[in-house]
Amino acid sequence: MGTNLSSPKTEKSSDDGENDHLGYGLSSMQGWRASMEDAHAAHLDLDASTSFFGVYDGHGGKVVAKFCAKYLHQQVVKSEAYIAGDIGTSLRESFFRMDEMMRGQRGWRELAILGDKFNKFNGKIEGLIWSPRSREYKAQEDSWAFEEGPHSNFAGPTSGSTACVAIIRNKQLFVANAGDSRCVICRKGQAYDLSIDHKPDVETEKERIIKAGGFIHAGRVNGSLSLARAIGDMEFKQNRFLPAEKQMVTANPDINTIELCDEDEFIVLACDGIWDCLSSQQLVDFVRQQLLIETKLSAVCERVLDRCLSPTIAFGDGCDNMTMILVQFKKLAQFTAPTQEQSSSNE
């Protein structure tokens, strides 16, 4: 939970884009919250055949969400599994990689900058001193854990973020999720959830939490965190006898892979500020209705945010930060041109 303003900030940050296969629109709004802790990423052309979309809902601060928006898709592409064509494994590895990268001196320094502790006038980070690095060391792009300095033992942030990511490659859709942001597909007007909300009272999550030495009180891990999976939140990941996927709170994502078909209309990725107000089917119905009168996808997203915004903080739901990405499919026949062999076999 975050503190609330006396009146909501309804200004929206929106964007649109398209390529030969997809069109997307997105919008985010601070709303009643005292600060904006959501972040997002939209990369139509992650490579020649792949698009990437992600929604990150921060808690306890914005830095982890911003870190994921900046780096997670980069780590996916760098993964050996991704290069080998194993998208699911590359996504899982990249979620865990976020926690690894946020530790140590370089992780602390990057989080300090993303947290606006960077002085734009003198180029320094507030309270930061670190050892000079050699030219050879600077060239080591992935040497996050080895940078020396006074924060070399930094265990990582106590704040955290959900991560809900969709990768579209040709006719396949890959969804990775940790937390309670959600991805939903509209197939012939019907909403299908492509992710699971990771709440502590879900039986499988509860079992892991207790085995890791934690407890659940009032629906929260150790009476504090309302999520069972998240990136960051390092205070819940300190059991040295357990692997990352078995910690009280884990960044381990559920991975869902589906084959797209001509009945698929669009997908929505959104943070829980929207799902608290609308069910998956209600949101799909609302989007389909809006698409009959509005072609600009970001405008549809903006209308969803306005629809969910509470008129008063007394209602509870509709007072959170809100972020939504709407990805609309063009005809699947356009996804991949037939190969020469396929053309020959059809003659």
Q: Which residues contact 195 (CB under 8 A, 6 or more apart)?
A: 164, 175, 177, 181, 182, 183, 254, 256
Amino acid at 103: R
| Residues of the domain holding 281 | 22-103+155-345
* Residue 118 covered by a domain: no
Nearest to residue 225, comparing CAs of 196, 249, 253? 249
Report the CATH number that the domain containing residue 172 is assigned in CATH: 3.60.40.10
Q: What pLDDT does residue 335 have?
A: 42
Token pair listed for 270: 């959104």
Q: What pLDDT does residue 294 have?
A: 94
Q: What pLDDT does residue 340 have?
A: 40
Q: What pLDDT does residue 316 have?
A: 73
CA dihedral 309, 314, 320, 326 (to 10 degrees): -30
* Residue 323 covered by a domain: yes
Could you give the CA distance from residue 180 to residue 160 in angstroms, rounded to a whole number?
13
Q: What pLDDT does residue 142 have?
A: 62
Nearest to residue 325, comparing CAs of 115, 92, 164? 164
* Residue 335 covered by a domain: yes
Q: How many domains is the chain built from?
A: 1
* Residue 145 covered by a domain: no
Q: What pLDDT does residue 292 have?
A: 95
Q: What pLDDT does residue 312 have?
A: 87
Q: Which residues contact 37 (CB under 8 A, 6 or more apart)?
A: 2, 57, 58, 59, 61, 62, 65, 161, 321
Residue 339 burial (10 A CB sphere; 0-12, 13-18, 19+): exposed
The values of phi and psi at residue 33, to 5°, are -70, 150
Could you give the CA distance from residue 140 to residue 16 in angstroms, rounded to a whole number?
35
What pTM does this model have? 0.90
Could you give the CA distance from residue 159 to residue 141 in angstroms, rounded to a whole number?
25
Q: What pLDDT does residue 41 have?
A: 98
Secondary structure class of 127 (helix, strand, coil): coil
Tens-digit pLDDT string for the chain (347 aa): 457 888 999 999 999 999 999 999 999 999 999 999 999 999 999 999 999 999 999 999 999 999 999 999 999 999 999 999 999 999 999 999 999 999 999 999 899 989 866 554 445 555 554 444 544 444 455 667 778 888 889 999 999 999 999 999 999 999 999 999 999 999 999 999 999 999 999 999 999 999 999 999 999 999 999 999 999 999 999 999 999 999 999 999 999 999 999 999 999 999 999 999 999 999 999 999 999 999 999 999 999 999 999 998 876 789 999 999 999 998 744 444 344 443 343 43
Token pair listed for 201: 């009272």
* Residue 70 covered by a domain: yes
DSSP run (H or E) holding 319: none
Could you give the CA distance from residue 86 to residue 260 in angstroms, rounded to a whole number?
18
Q: What pLDDT does residue 3 have?
A: 78
Q: What pLDDT does residue 149 have?
A: 83
Nearest to residue 165, comparing CAs of 60, 239, 75? 75
* Residue 131 covered by a domain: no
Could you give the CA distance from residue 107 to residue 130 in angstroms, rounded to a whole number?
12
Amino acid at 140: Q
Could you give the CA distance from residue 51 to residue 201 in angstroms, rounded to a whole number?
34
User: What spatial distance separates the first Cα and last Cα of the chain, rounded to whole Å?
Assistant: 62
Secondary structure class of 93 (helix, strand, coil): helix
Could you give the CA distance from residue 324 to residue 266 in angstroms, rounded to a whole number?
13
Could you give the CA distance from residue 287 to residue 297 in angstroms, rounded to a whole number?
9
Could you give the CA distance from residue 124 to residue 115 in angstroms, rounded to a whole number?
13
Token pair listed for 73: 């898709």
Q: What pLDDT does residue 116 have?
A: 67
Could you give the CA distance from residue 12 to residue 306 in angstroms, rounded to a whole number?
10
* Residue 291 covered by a domain: yes
> 105 forms bridges with which residues in the sheet?
none
* Residue 256 covered by a domain: yes
Secondary structure class of 173 (helix, strand, coil): strand
